[in-house]
Structure 1
């Protein structure tokens, strides 16, 4: 399938990467609805002291923030892995392996390895021509999903495409 034309292979490859990222950003869980019932005076009174953090709470150490971001990145990566598992058979037609790994403090690294050898230079050219689409996907879907999960203050995604022999064809890192 991919030995006949690299254009079809690279297009399918990128389309799958785009579809995976879009799928991972969507959730089957409904958004929590805002309550339309007025809060009782008792609830308001109880919530007021907690709403105003003390000086100690306001000056939380940066390490806690970094640890929280790393935990959020782990959660995001786990979600992406679930999506990859769900897409398993469709990916096996194109790739021998697809992985997503956390690169701390704020980067998700997606690695796609072709199942069959492809002309590396042609594939790299095709992938480079689609970098704008990947960047747009990151800006409109992936970065907001990462941020909503607590990854930050910035978010990064690296896409790596390897040939069947494991040699790198193309990679690109996008930053929020």
Structure 2
């Protein structure tokens, strides 16, 4: 039902139009290239080192869509994968979900993450009527993610204690309510 979703991200004066769409097997080579970035590996669980890893990763995204539990979108510009945004971890009977994102190293600093996250947030609110609260988690040393959260209206609600291995350092919990 959802796997054919394609969401436009409008162009701005300084940035081209983008599209959010489900991941495809054809994206695997680009995914492997993006996941080589040590900065990305530091802050995400995305670890795709081979074609087999890429196939598993895309299949996991497909399974999430099919189950209606995880909605991962490739952020695409001119058919080049620039990043990922995801709606996941539904809780409280569907009233709460988590969002996440990452952007390829060579595409950072162009305002892509806030634009893509805004579109994902709008889609989530329109698609899941019970959804009242979105949470965004990041390590405290990920200053760029903190800026993205603030730009997108996610208020800093709490500093979290370390929870290795996913969060080896303190974290921030940002919340955006409907």
TM exceeds 0.5?
no
TM-score (normalizing by structure 2): 0.28
- Higher-RCO chain (CA-CA 8 Å, sequence separation at least 6): 1
Choose between structure 1 and 2: higher helix proportion.
Answer: 1
Higher-Rg structure is 1
TM-score norm. by structure 1 comes to 0.28
